[in-house]
Amino acid sequence: MLDQAQRTAILELKKKGHGVKAIARMLEVARETVREVLRSGSAEVPQLDRPEKAEPHREQILELYARCGGNLVRVHEELLTQGVALSYQALTAFCRRHEIGRKPRPPAGHYTFGPGKEMQHDTSPHDVVLGGVKRRVQTASLVLCFSRMIFIRLFLNFTRFDCKVFLTEALEYLGGACKTCMIDNTHVVVLRGTGKEMQPVPEMEAFGERFGFDFLAHEVGDANRSAQVEGHFNFVERNFIRGGGQFADLADCNRQARAWCDKVNAKFSRKLHASRRELFAAEQPHLVLLPIWVPPVYRLHHRIVDVEGYVNVHSNRYSVPYKLIGRQLEVRETRDRIEVFDGPRQVAAHPKLLEPQNARVTLPEHRPPRGEGRSPRGPSVEEQELLKREPLLAPLVAAIKTKSGSPAVLPLRRLLRLLNDYPRAPLLDAVARALEYRMLDLERLERMVLRRVAQQYFTLPDGRDERDPS
């Protein structure tokens, strides 16, 4: 079939006086075709009215389409069962032409980003071979929308803590931040709402304020709004994950990912007509500068040192000095380290194990010297205070410690309270009687003290019984 340009040429040549034979020879078409065009007298291409095989069964197709939930394979099988001789290709073409089960694709929008105006962040799952084992990881990506500078990092899991770790590293790599960060409606950042109504988690909102940017979320289903970062995931998978080298572990993979980002950002892009680094040179003055001091991102835990001298973080155990056994310490989990603090002082630091392995990480200096066990525990603060204030209580203190088989902090603390609350003479008298009968129950001892206090301090002057109301 001739197109509109050829039909127009035939009509123009005829107006110039050329014959049918000459026109057919010049345009290399049949003379009968030239005559048909001249008879129509129009350059418009005529519509071909071909009968559609599926048209007589239109209502039947619509009914089956609704019944089969839009599955055209099932629709075709049902039509064949009902004796309709129609190929699957003819069925799908008929549904496509008449928009059965399909809607015309709307045109994609176009967004223009000025330098330093917006950056986009998202994550995507990928399968990566780490140490010869295929693992599912989360690839986090940050893209500057003007220069298309890209930074990626891979995580085994992506939590709010990992999000802050990634964004901090990415912004340090770029040397600044854009004024807004476009995200999808991820629970890592979003507290409630979607799109324009999105409210970020206060923790993430404060994190953005630290670096001078705000989180924005696109509307649900509007992936085109974050197309700059979405489109790069396919590029990352084809060029880094599948086309990259071998990865010994996740740390090695992230080292290679950073080197790959340097290479891609410096490479000339035909689409951009420049390299990303060259465009970034124009965008960098418009970025929000990093704060003078970027505090490290860490997750805080409180752990009691177990009897073996370890603290447990994510099913892995890290050693601390053995003298801190039984103490509650503060554990800070950073991107790649475990730091242990006793108050304001750091007492241990270990490389972080990325996965729960039920493993132990031990430093030799945290164990007692060979041949030495744990140093004997000295007297408790309560015992020292008791013996300092009242040396005559030493036999009772020794008996209580012998009976409990431990420092007996709680009983001694109660005995110290008795010393603070009651007069000295009734207390020592009750203690002497208790030691005589080997009675070490402090509750009974307190009742004995109360009876002596009542006899000495609450006797009526006229000798009357205090229970007598008269």
**What type of residue sits at position 244?**
G
Q: Which two tokens stand for residue 102?
A: 């399909």
The pLDDT, as a whole number, for residue 316 is 94
Same fold, 4-40 and 118-289: no
User: Any residues with CB less than 8 A from the CB of 59 and at least 6 apart, and which?
Assistant: none
Residues in the chain: 470
Quick one: which of 175, 181, 182, 170 has its CA closest to 280? Answer: 175
Distances (CA, A) of 360 to 87, 250, 252, 348, 431: 65, 20, 22, 14, 49
Question: Is CATH 3.30.110.60 the right assignment for the domain spanning 118-289?
Answer: no
The widest CA-to-CA distance across the chain, in whole angstroms, is 154
> Helices 4-15 and 20-27, interaxial angle, to 10°?
140
Residue 119: name the closest of 248, 254, 6, 212 by CA. 212
The pLDDT of residue 396 is: 87
Does an H or E element contain 345, and which? strand 345-351
Q: Which pLDDT score is estimated for 467?
A: 46
Tokens 């040549």 sit on residue: 13
CA distance 455 to 457: 6
- Angle in degrees, 0-180, between the axes of helices 31-40 and 20-27, rounded to the nearest 10: 110
User: What is the full per-residue pLDDT of the chain (470 aa) written as tens digits?
Assistant: 788 888 888 888 888 888 988 988 888 889 898 888 888 888 888 876 677 788 888 888 888 888 888 888 998 899 899 888 888 998 888 888 888 887 777 776 677 889 999 999 999 999 999 888 888 999 999 999 999 999 999 999 999 999 999 999 999 999 999 999 999 888 899 999 988 899 999 999 999 999 999 999 988 877 778 888 888 888 888 888 886 667 888 999 999 999 999 999 999 999 889 999 999 999 999 999 999 999 899 999 999 999 899 999 999 999 999 889 999 999 999 999 999 999 999 999 999 998 888 899 999 999 887 765 555 567 888 888 888 888 888 888 888 888 877 677 888 888 888 888 888 888 888 889 888 888 888 888 889 988 888 877 655 555 555 444 43
**What string of DSSP letters covers 366-392?**
GSPPTT--SPPP---HHHHHHHHH-GG
Q: Where are the domains of the chain?
A: 4-40, 55-97, 118-289, 299-366, 382-457
Distance CA 394, CA 389 (A): 11
CATH topology of domain 4-40: Arc Repressor Mutant, subunit A (1.10.10)
Phi/psi at 204 (5° precision) = -75, -35
Whether the Cβ atoms of residue 387 and residue 397 lie closer than 8 Å to each other: yes
> Which residues are CB-neighbours of 46 under 8 A, at least 6 positions away?
40
State pTM to two decimals. Answer: 0.63
Q: Are 141 and 124 in contact (CB under 8 A)?
A: yes
